[in-house]
Amino acid sequence: MSEQHSPLSDPSPEDPAAWSSYWQAQNQSWRTEPEIAAERQAYLTACLGTPLDAQQGIYPFKAVRLSRADVEWLLDRHEGGPVDWSEASEREREGIDVRGADLRGVDLRGLPLARLVGGLSYEVRDPATWEAQLEDAGAHLEEANPQGVHLEGAILNGTHLEQAELSEAHLEQAELEQAYLTRAKLDHADLEWATLIEADLEGTSLRSAFLERAFLQCAHLRSATLERASFKRAKLMSAHLERANLSQAHLEGANLIHAYLEGAIIGQANLEEADLRKTHLEGVNLDRSSLRGAFLDDAHLEGADLSEAHLQGANLSGAHLSGATLRWAHLEGANLSGAHLEGTILAAEDLERIRVCWMLESFPAELPPADLRHTFFDAATRFLDQVTLGEERFGAVCLADASWNGANLAGVDWAGVQMLGDERIALQEDDAAGKPKPPAQQRQEYWAAIRANRQLAAALHHAGMDEEAARFLSRAEGLLQAVRRLQ
């Protein structure tokens, strides 16, 4: 705590510039406001003397309206002064306690609020009383402006930060469990190792935010703007990211087990070695995303766009890929054992859950087999062991111009693939809108079906499966005759 300032030496309250110079001389450059009046100091001192009782929800500044000048004075008076996060020895020291205080709309820019106590500490969590105490302890910072503020190690569990301006804020190792961050702005904020379990970040902007190794289990990030945000090694288990914009985000090594990403935009995101087991990615746009070495076991990718995605070495065993587009996708070395590439009819409850996302309100109940045209495989691809490529009702996958590159085709039940999806499309006289196809489109689709059958036949022949090869070559000849009749 610094010494009390002499009223005679203090600048005039009407002269902000003089006060700024005054605080610079006092080595308190973070202060911008005039010193609060003696009466206000006495009131805040009396508040600090209030016996704390977490069980009864009694805190020194509960429901007290605090201004920036008040906070500056509290920081100055705090034993040992503000916590200096840059000093490792300071990181265990507790910051000022503003639990339950009213700081709505207050300008807190540039203040040294490391280790601030604005909510109930996770260390004293009592499951029986946690929820009630959390509500009592949470400070109110709705629409506050803590832009660039230092909140490293802050205790903000249950704190109200709705629509707060937290851009470029430092929140490393902060606790934000069940915090309210709806429509808050955290662009370029640093949340490394932060804990945001069950935090409400719906509609929040986190562009280019740094959330490496952050704990976001069960966090609510619906419709959040997360473009270019860094979630490397972050824990996002069961997080709600429906409709979130994760384009170009960094999610390398992130844990997204059982996360909900329906309707999310993840184009060009980096998900290398991310854990996406059992994750809901129905209808998600993952085009050109990097998923090398990712874990997608039993993931729900129905109707997803994986065009040009890099899935080299990814584990897609048991993944649900009905209706997914994998054109130009790279599956070299990937494991698709037991993957579901055939068409399907979604259960009513699943369809309802997916359609809740506004971008997926017309998501179809019936999904065709996956589109594997132009997809890249190789000898290391383990996708043909117990994989399902089609069935009678919906037909099989589309394979025109797929690059097999020595892939092992022996594990597929080719007897169950009566007709490739390319041929099924060519034989349909009407387009998706129910209108007759133009002759040019018909010819184009027939030639694609011919190529698909011939290419598969060649790959099967190369694998020593001459009987299967002959069957698909025969289908190509039949389609060629049909093209000649059209011409």
431 in the same domain as 412: no
Cα–Cα distance for residue pair 350/275, rounded to 1 Å? 22
Is 414 a member of any domain? Answer: yes
438 in the same domain as 400: no
pLDDT at 235: 94
C-alpha separations of 320 from 113, 237, 328, 441 in Å: 47, 19, 19, 30
Is 23 a member of any domain? Answer: no
432 in the same domain as 296: no
249 in the same domain as 308: yes
Number of domains in the chain: 2
pLDDT at 385: 66
Instruction: Give the end of a domain, one of 418, 445, 464.
Output: 418
Q: Which two tokens stand for residue 369?
A: 């087999």
Using a 10 angstrom Cβ sphere, with 0-12 exposed, 13-18 middle and 19 or more buried, the burial of residue 265 is: buried
Q: Which domain, by its residues, includes 465?
A: 420-487
289 in the same domain as 425: no
Sole residue written with tokens 């001459």: 466
Is 470 a member of any domain? Answer: yes
Instruction: Give the end of a domain, one of 392, 418, 444.
Output: 418
pLDDT at 3: 47
Q: Which helix (H) or strand (E) holds 391?
A: strand 390-391
429 in the same domain as 401: no
403 in the same domain as 453: no
348 in the same domain as 404: yes
424 in the same domain as 413: no
Whether the Cβ atoms of residue 241 and residue 221 lie closer than 8 Å to each other: yes
258 in the same domain as 353: yes
CATH of the domain at 369: 2.160.20.80
Q: Which residues of the chain have pLDDT under 50?
A: 2-3, 6-8
C-alpha separations of 480 from 414, 446, 453, 476, 477 in Å: 22, 8, 11, 6, 5
412 in the same domain as 477: no
Instruction: Give the end of a domain, one of 393, 418, 443.
Output: 418
Is 206 a member of any domain? Answer: no
Is 296 a member of any domain? Answer: yes
Rounded to the nearest 5°, which phi and psi values hold at 367?
Answer: -115, 135
